[in-house]
Amino acid sequence: MPTRPGTPRLLRQLNDRAALELLLSSGPLTRAELGEYTGLSKVTAGQLLSRLEERDLVTVVGEQAGGRGPNAALYGVVPSCAYVVGLDVLPDRISAGVADITGTIVAEVSADPSGHDDPVRLVRSAVSQACESAGIGVDRLRAFVIGTRGVVDPGTGDVRFSFDLPSWHNGVLAELRRDLGVPVTIENDVNLAALAERAYGAALGVDDFVLVWAGVGQGLGVMLGGRLHRGFTGGAGEIGWLPVPGEPLPTDVSEPQSGSFQRLVGGDAVTGLANAHGIGPGPGSEPVVDGGSVGDYVRTAVTEGAEAFLDELAGRLAVGVAAVAVVLDPGLIVLSGDVGRAGGDALAARVQDAVARFCPSQPRVVVSRVRGNPVLRGALVSALQQAREQVFSDTI
């Protein structure tokens, strides 16, 4: 395999990238600190900082008091050197967020897509609103990631099929890229929630874990070796189709909500179980439909201490968790989604105990710790990875 020679230009590029990553993770830093952490001499670190300042990637952000001499300048990454957009697309709501290169979210908006079927127009409108709220032009964006329900083809990047968003079809990705003039990526929403969990939540820094999305629909985000596992067709994690003893097998896989595990723990199942235990959704709740509030029943059960309901719900969820555990043995399972987040630690502990009773692999089960919209947060994480790759790979 051919290798790139260690030319001075390449070495400068590698040093610049290492410095930028260090400033993002540990900054702001002085020239001396940067040299110490990277192993570079003060002279080389100073030259590096000058290059990055000339490209408006780094600037002085303060001073650090020293000994008898003058205060040392503190350097940090210029937040405005790159921006990214993330979207969470649902049948009844589009959420869009803008983040700067440091990961700081500078704007977040929501839009109602009702009456509009053109994905390109919907996305363009949401992005324009988000950029306007952030006070930047669309031309300032470096990367753009869309989270959506459905299976994304790993070969083409298009949505292969989505029950909830039929207008998202093959060819939409190319249209979005042409229309926006920005690198666009479409990703499964639960996969993005897993990225957010690893970056900010209960799986912070964990290389092997599974996120179980429990709500109106069911899904998995599988992280192996620090990378998302999407499967050959992009269908890894469609746990709603898991065969379950005692539940009928689907006769038509094109029929939504017909998978065996979905019948056991989906929105209708949780609602029926709650009604059987005399639990209501709580005041002010919406009907349980797409994007509805099935989690309100679970939240009410936790508040009221409805032990029997929580035990039975945990036992049902444990069927899917155990199936994942005996195949992947991830060690950590994170409960997310409307039901998972509403159940909190009380539900997670019950699921862990139930799994331990009939599964030789006994993973730790915890609730999501991501604040806000986990799909949107994950979309921004993915977009930032792409943008930083662009910026940090082209510093010379």
Structural contact between residues 313 and 353, judged by C-beta atoms closer than 8 angstroms: no
Sorted by sequence, the CB contacts under 8 Å of residue 276 that are 6+ apart come out as none
Label residue 227 by pLDDT band (50, 70, 90): very high
Q: What is the pLDDT of residues 152-205, one digit of tens each?
A: 988 889 888 777 777 887 788 999 999 888 889 999 999 999 999 999 999 998
H-helix or E-strand containing 83?
A: strand 83-89
Q: What is the pLDDT of residues 347-378, one digit of tens each?
A: 999 999 999 998 998 899 999 999 999 999 99
Dig out the tokens for 229 from the structure. Answer: 């596992």
Question: Apex CA 298: angle with CA 293 and CA 302, to 5°?
Answer: 140
* Unique residue bearing structure tokens 């730790």: 364
**Total length of the chain:** 396
Distance between CA 267 and CA 344 in Å, rounded?
Answer: 17
Query: What pTM was estimated for this model as a whole?
Result: 0.90
Instruction: State the DSSP string of 337-386.
Output: HHHHHHHHHHHHHHHHHHHHHH-SS--EEEE----S-HHHHHHHHHHHHH
Structural contact between residues 104 and 63, judged by C-beta atoms closer than 8 angstroms: no
Sorted by sequence, the CB contacts under 8 Å of residue 277 that are 6+ apart come out as 301, 306, 308, 309, 312
Report the range of poorest mean pLDDT among 26-30, 158-162, 322-326, 337-341.
158-162
Task: Tell how strand 29-30 and strand 72-77 pair up.
Answer: antiparallel
Sorted by sequence, the CB contacts under 8 Å of residue 205 that are 6+ apart come out as 198
Q: What is the pLDDT of residues 272-325, one digit of tens each?
A: 999 999 998 766 555 444 444 799 999 999 999 999 999 999 999 999 999 999
Relative orientation angle of helices 42-54 and 8-26, to the nearest 10 degrees: 80
